[in-house]
């Protein structure tokens, strides 16, 4: 299958360039030629270029003009993401952008809307769904060259804006409905920073399913990069829970384990691979910007509910 090979990555001081998601590692593993990396910090751009065999730039616009890439991975401080988004669109460069893409839902301009993924009504009798993603201390952002994550003017928010999209997207995907925020709380108690280090939001779908989205930077294990996480769907007859290596199904007289299919790939590597393959086929993006916009709307509805 034909895939774009000449790829650039913008604003690589974003921690996902080389840590956690580590897009640069993913691109290298896929056999892509990383023809340019950019960052306003000359030191960081040079570091990423040295580590991944690329050319450093301190301006992403200049990088695009000089390298003429086939594809881009768009990273950046949250406050500058809308400008990067617009520039890449106007330059005609296809790209994948890291969430949240903006610091306010109003910054999204959608050419067309679409409904949530169709799940065939399989969750209609569910009572509630729970998502928890508690990540380590904010110290990791400092050590990963992203201290701006503690600056509200640059990050736009804290754990809710950065991590909340995962749960909100899951709510729409699993239920096939557009949920609304009914309550939310945020806290800055642990790190006492400008941005929140913990948030809990509750949503309700039109059919009555409740969704609890809990996120934070309060996992006290750093420098061990661990997560206190849980994903489960609870109904009247069955509880479905993600466990290592697959799914656990609990019910009356039932405790089953469904293993992941052999060769299963998930997470960031699969997202990038599928995006590159879709572009190579001439297909639309597997995940359009409108999906992110829906999640960001719920994030800011949650901020409003939290006061």
Q: Provide the 3-class DSSP secondary structure of residue 31.
A: coil
What is the distance between the alpha carbons of residues 125 and 234, in angstroms, rounded to a whole number? 9
Q: Which two tokens stand for residue 179?
A: 């949920």
Residues 147, 125: Cα–Cα separation, whole Å? 44
Burial status of residue 51 (CB atoms within 10 A of its CB: 0-12, 13-18, 19 or more) = middle
Give me the tens of pLDDT residue by residue for the chain, a chain 307 residues long. 689 999 999 999 999 999 999 999 999 999 999 999 999 999 999 999 999 999 999 999 999 999 999 999 999 999 999 999 999 999 999 999 999 998 876 665 433 334 333 333 444 467 999 999 999 999 999 999 999 999 999 999 999 999 999 999 999 999 999 999 999 999 999 999 999 999 999 999 999 999 999 999 999 999 999 999 999 999 989 999 999 999 999 999 999 999 999 988 888 999 999 999 999 999 999 999 889 999 999 999 999 999 9
- Cα 242 to chain centroid, rounded: 19
Distance spanning both ends of the chain, measured CA to CA: 50
Dist. CA 75–CA 101, nearest whole Å: 9
C-alpha distances out from residue 119 to 29, 124, 172, 178, Å: 32, 10, 10, 13
Dump pLDDT digits (tens) for 28-73: 999 999 999 999 999 999 999 999 999 999 999 999 999 999 999 9
Condensed to tens digits (0 to 9), the pLDDT of residues 211-229 reads 999 999 999 999 999 999 9
| pTM across the whole model | 0.91
Query: Counting every residue, how long is the chain?
Result: 307
């Amino acid at each position: 299958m034909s895939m774009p090979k000449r790829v650039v990555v913008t604003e690589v001081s974003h921690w996902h360039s080389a840590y956690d998601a580590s897009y640069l590692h993913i691109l290298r593993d896929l056999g892509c030629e990383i023809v340019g990396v950019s960052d306003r910090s000359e030191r960081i751009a040079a570091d990423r270029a040295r580590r991944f065999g690329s050319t450093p730039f301190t301006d992403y616009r200049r990088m695009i003009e000089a390298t003429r890439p086939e594809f881009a991975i768009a990273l950046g401080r949250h406050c500058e993401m809308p400008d990067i988004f617009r520039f890449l669109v106007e330059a005609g460069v296809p790209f994948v952008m890291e969430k949240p893409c903006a610091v306010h839902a109003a910054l999204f301009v959608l050419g067309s809307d679409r409904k949530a993924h169709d799940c065939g009504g399989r969750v209609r009798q569910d009572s509630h769904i729970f998502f928890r993603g508690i990540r380590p201390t904010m110290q990791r952002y400092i050590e990963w060259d992203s201290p701006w994550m503690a600056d509200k003017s640059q990050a736009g928010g804290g754990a809710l804006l950065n991590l909340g999209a995962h749960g909100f997207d899951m709510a729409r995907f699993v239920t096939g409905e557009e949920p609304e925020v009914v309550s939310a709380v945020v806290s800055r108690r642990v790190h006492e920073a400008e941005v929140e280090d913990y948030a809990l939001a509750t949503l309700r779908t039109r059919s009555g399913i409740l969704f609890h989205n809990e996120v934070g930077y309060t996992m006290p294990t750093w420098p061990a990069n661990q997560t206190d996480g849980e994903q489960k769907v609870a109904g009247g007859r069955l509880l479905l829970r993600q466990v290592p290596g697959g799914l656990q199904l609990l019910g009356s007289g039932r405790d089953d384990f469904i293993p992941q299919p052999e060769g299963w790939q998930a997470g960031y590597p699969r997202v990038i691979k599928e995006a590159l393959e879709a572009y190579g086929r001439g297909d639309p993006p597997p995940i359009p910007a409108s999906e992110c916009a829906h999640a960001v709307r719920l994030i800011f509805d949650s901020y409003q509910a939290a006061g």
